[in-house]
Every structure is written in C-alpha cells, then in structure tokens.
C-alpha cells in the first residue's frame, strides 16, 4: 500500500496520486513531492509554493 497525496499550487488543484504518479504529472523526482511537505520548503516558499496534503494509504 502506498500513500496518496493531493497537490495544490496556491489555490489551483494540481492532482491526486502517489509520489510516483504526481512526480510524473509534475515532471519532478518523487523525492521532490515529499520535500514540498517539509517545513523548510514551506518557509522558503512563504506560503506561495506547492501544498501537499497526505490523504492516507491507497490499495
């Protein structure tokens, strides 16, 4: 089972999926999706960057 995430950029919905699916959609590495969840990224982007929400595990 993998976790699913929802990604937003400002108020715009980007997509829902696993880190692999989202990385393919956004043309970034899977670890970048996880980085977007960190406090360090949120401080750097000052709330204007990507927002990644953990939706839990999918089957």
Residue 55 forms part of a structural domain: no
Total structural domains within the chain: 1
What band does 48 get if pLDDT is binned at 50, 70 and 90? confident
What band does 57 get if pLDDT is binned at 50, 70 and 90? confident
CA 57 to chain centre: 14
Alpha carbon of 52 to those of 24, 37, 57: distances in Å?
Answer: 15, 6, 15
Residue 20 domain boundaries: 1-6+15-49
pLDDT (tens digit per residue) in 17-31 = 999 999 999 999 999
* Cα–Cα distance, 39 to 59 (Å, whole number): 28
Residue 54 forms part of a structural domain: no
Residue 59, pLDDT above cutoff 90: no
Phi, psi angle pair for 20, to nearest 5°: -65, -45
């Amino acid at each position: 089972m993998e976790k699913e995430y929802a990604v937003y950029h400002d108020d715009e919905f980007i997509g829902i999926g696993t880190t692999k699916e989202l990385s393919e959609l956004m043309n970034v590495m899977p670890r970048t999706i996880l980085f977007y969840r960190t406090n360090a990224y949120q401080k750097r982007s000052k709330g204007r960057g990507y927002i990644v929400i953990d939706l839990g595990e999918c089957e």
